Amino acid sequence: MNVKQLRIGILGLGAMGRALAGALLDAGHEVTVWNRTPGRADDLLARGAREAPGVAATIAAADLTIVCLLNDASVRTTLEPVAQDLAGRTLVNLTSGSAAQARELAGWLAGHGARSLAGGIMAVPPTIGTVGAFILYSGPRDLFDRLAPALAPLGRPQWAGEDPGFAALYDMAALSGMYGMSAGADHAVALVHAEGGDVAAFKREVLRPWMEQMLPFMTAGAEVTEVVSEDYNPEMQATGLETMLTASDAAGVPTELSGHLRASLWRMRRTA
């Protein structure tokens, strides 16, 4: 398999699927696309992609098929009718799902004679193909090593392990961290707004630089933990959280926005 210029099929042309197809076209690959709802491929066709009439035709036209659909159920609905066409094929599933779903799908694909990698996209559509984008892959190491050069135009390929569930596991865990930070930022902005503060200045001059400064501690490695551990006081942290909750309640910030604070307080009280 010459990975420098592969025939690659894309199943699914949502915002992410279109971004993936575009990056592969830019890299010189021959790209065949399919989407359940027609009319999503026009811009890609103008750039040289081919549109297949169905799933089986997409897989048949490709050395490698990338699946990027809504969820695990949609992957099964798409692939099960063409199970007889999977023998000897190579698939990479970049659809978001759980580790258990990724493991089950990998087993199902193997049972039908296909080799596969499971993936987790650590990027949003506009950043696909940029320096900061990376994609997690898990499954057979030899298959990852063989496909990594072809997948590199999408974002830096990063192997997560032989267990096909690990890419999905790390993806979901990282998204949890992101949404937790987002919830905290939403709460912070709501509090400043409720008290009549300058929201724009707060976000620009306080919130962003503060979160950037704290990020190494939020994702602390052993070396950071060792530095702060002797000064870490759970009771002091819990008292600070109680003060934040009192201030939020007094300002009338909706209770649901302070859920992350209440969860943190519960955790601190357990360790105090």
* Residue 25 and residue 115 in one domain: yes
CATH number of the domain within which 227 lies: 1.10.1040.10
Percent of the chain with pLDDT over 90: 70
Domain edge (last residue) among 128, 162, 196:
162
**Are residues 176 and 158 part of one domain?**
no
Q: Please, which contacts does 124-129 make with residues 24 or more away whose CB atoms are closer than 8 Å?
A: 125/15, 125/16, 125/18, 125/19, 126/19, 127/155, 128/16, 128/19, 128/20, 128/22, 128/23, 128/154, 128/155, 129/19, 129/22, 129/23, 129/26, 129/153, 129/154, 129/155
Residues 111 and 197 in one domain: no
CA distance linking residue 234 with residue 239, whole number of Å: 9
Mean pLDDT of 206-226: 75
- pTM (two decimals): 0.83
Task: Give the closest residue to 29 by CA, choosing from 57, 3, 53.
Answer: 3
Task: Please report whether residue 15 resides in a domain.
Answer: yes
Confidence of residue 235 (pLDDT cuts 50, 70, 90): confident
- The mean predicted confidence, pLDDT, of the chain is 90
pLDDT band for 223, please (50, 70, 90 cuts).
very low
Are 102 and 192 contained in the same domain?
A: no
- What residue numbers bound the domain in which 98 lies? 7-162
Lowest average pLDDT, out of 45-59, 109-123, 223-237, 239-253, goes to 223-237
* pLDDT attached to residue 52: 97
Please determine, for residue 53, whether its predicted confidence score (pLDDT) is greater than 90: yes
Structural domain includes residue 33? yes
Domain match, 23 and 60 both = yes
pLDDT score of 258: 82
Are residues 99 and 192 part of one domain? no
Instruction: Give the mean pLDDT of 55-67.
Output: 98
* Cα atoms in the Cβ-side hemisphere of radius 13 Å centred on 128: 22
**Which tokens in the block code for residue 76?**
């099964």
Q: How many helices (H) and strands (E) does the chain have?
A: 12, 8
As for how many domains the chain has, the answer is 2
- Contact criterion met (CB below 8 Å) for 70 and 96: no
- CATH code of the domain in which 61 resides: 3.40.50.720
